[in-house]
Amino acid sequence: MQIITIAMQKGGVGKSTLVRSLAVAAARDGLSVLILDMDAQQSVSQWGERREAEMPVVVFSTENELPRRLEQAKGAADLVIIDTPPARSTEAPAAVEIADLVLIPTTPDVEPLEQMPRTLRLCRGFDRPVWAVINMANPTGQAEVTQTREVIEAMGAKAAPVVLHRRKAHRDASASGQSVQELDANSKAANEVANLWAWVRAEMQNGKKS
Ligand SMILES: Nc1ncnc2c1ncn2[C@@H]1O[C@H](COP(=O)(O)OP(=O)(O)OP(=O)(O)O)[C@@H](O)[C@H]1O
Ligand SMILES: [Mg+2]
C-alpha cells in the first residue's frame, strides 16, 4: 500500500481537486483506492456522497484516527490519497509524515508561491519525495508555466513535468460527483490528469526501487 499526501497551506489552489482526479485515475487503472479526507470542510467527502461509484472509497479522518484508518486500509487498499486542510494545521504534518510521496499544488499566482516555502519547510522535516504541481495555468501561452517553474526551482523545490491548466471541466466534474476523466475521457483536462497520474505512478515505482 502506498500513500500520497496532497498538502499546501494556501487555500483554493486545487488540493481537493487533485485528490479526486488522481484517485479516480488510479481506480481506472485497476487500483483499489482509499481517499482519507483530513479537511474539516469535507469537500471531498461531500463529492464522495454525490458519486454513485464504489471507487474510490472516501473516509473522513481526524489526525487521531489516522493510524487506525491506515491499519484498516492495509490489505484492502493499494493506494491511499490524503487531502489536507489549508492554513497551518496539525493534520498536514501528520499526513506528510506517513506519505511515500507528497504533492504540493500551486497556481501560478504570487500568493500561493509566496506561501509555498512554509509547506516545503514542513516537508523537509521528513525525508520524503516532494513535488510541486502547477495547477490552473493559463491554457494559452507557455511563459507563465516557465516562470512559475523557475520560481519553484529557486526555492530548491522540483515541479512535476505535467502541468494542469485552468479548465472548466474540473468544476463541472466536481458538481456531478465525477472526475474530469469520467465526465469526458477525451477532454484536454482528462488528458492532463491521465498524464499526471502516469507520471505519479512511475515516480512511486522509482521510489519503491531505491
Ligand atoms: N485546473 C483547474 N481548472 C479550473 N478550476 C479548477 C482547477 N483546479 C481546481 N479548480 C477549482 O478551483 C476551486 C478550488 O479548488 P479546490 O477546492 O480543489 O482547492 P483546495 O486547495 O482544496 O481548497 P481549500 O484549501 O479550500 O481546501 C474549485 O472550485 C475547483 O473546482
Ligand atoms: Mg480542499
Q: Which residues pair with 79 in a beta bridge?
A: 2, 33
The confidence score (pLDDT) of residue 10 equals 97
Q: State the closest ligand 1 atom to the C-alpha of 18, by its place in the atom list counted from 1.
A: 18
Torsion 60-9-142-154 (CA) sign: negative
Q: What are 182-197's pLDDT values in tens digits?
A: 999 999 999 999 999 9
pLDDT category, 125, cuts 50, 70, 90?
A: confident
Q: State the closest ligand 1 atom to the C-alpha of 137, by its place in the atom list counted from 1.
A: 1
The confidence score (pLDDT) of residue 81 equals 98
Q: Which residues pair with 36 in a beta bridge?
A: 59, 82
Q: At how many degrees (to 10) do helices 43-50 and 15-28 cross?
A: 40
What's the CATH superfamily of 2-209? P-loop containing nucleotide triphosphate hydrolases (3.40.50.300)
142: cell is 507557455
Using CA atoms, how far apart are residues 66 and 62, in angstroms rounded to an integer? 6
The confidence score (pLDDT) of residue 52 equals 81
The CA radius of gyration of the chain, in Å to the nearest whole number, is 16
The confidence score (pLDDT) of residue 209 equals 64
pLDDT category, 127, cuts 50, 70, 90?
A: confident
Q: What are 48-100's pLDDT values in tens digits?
A: 999 988 999 999 999 999 999 999 999 999 999 999 999 989 999 999 999 99
Q: What are 144-190's pLDDT values in tens digits?
A: 999 999 999 999 999 999 999 999 999 999 999 999 999 999 999 99
For residues 124-134, average pLDDT: 93
Using CA atoms, how far apart are residues 11 and 111, in angstroms rounded to an integer? 10
For residues 90-114, average pLDDT: 97
Report how far ligand 1's centroid is from the alpha carbon of 15 (Å). Answer: 7
Mutate to test the pocket of ligand 1, among 9, 16, 81 (most ligand atoms within 8 A of CB): 16
Using CA atoms, how far apart are residues 199 and 206, in angstroms rounded to an integer? 11
- Check pLDDT > 70 for residue 114: yes
Mutate to test the pocket of ligand 1, among 13, 17, 60 (most ligand atoms within 8 A of CB): 17
- Check pLDDT > 70 for residue 210: no
Mutate to test the pocket of ligand 1, among 35, 170, 183, 195 (most ligand atoms within 8 A of CB): 170
Report how far ligand 2's centroid is from the alpha carbon of 209 (Å). Answer: 31
The confidence score (pLDDT) of residue 72 equals 96
Q: Which of 7, 15, 5, 47 is nearest to 164 (CA)?
A: 15
The confidence score (pLDDT) of residue 206 equals 87
Strand blocks (E) in 17-83: 33-37, 57-60, 79-83
Residues near ligand 1 (Cβ within 6 A): 11-17, 39, 41, 43, 86, 135-136, 164, 166-167, 170-171, 174
For residues 103-111, average pLDDT: 98
Phi, psi of 194 (to 5 degrees): -60, -40
Q: State the closest ligand 1 atom to the C-alpha of 86, by its place in the atom list counted from 1.
A: 25
DSSP state of 187: S
Which has the higher per-residue pLDDT, 125 or 34?
34
For ligand 1, atom 8, which residue shows the shortest CA distance? 14
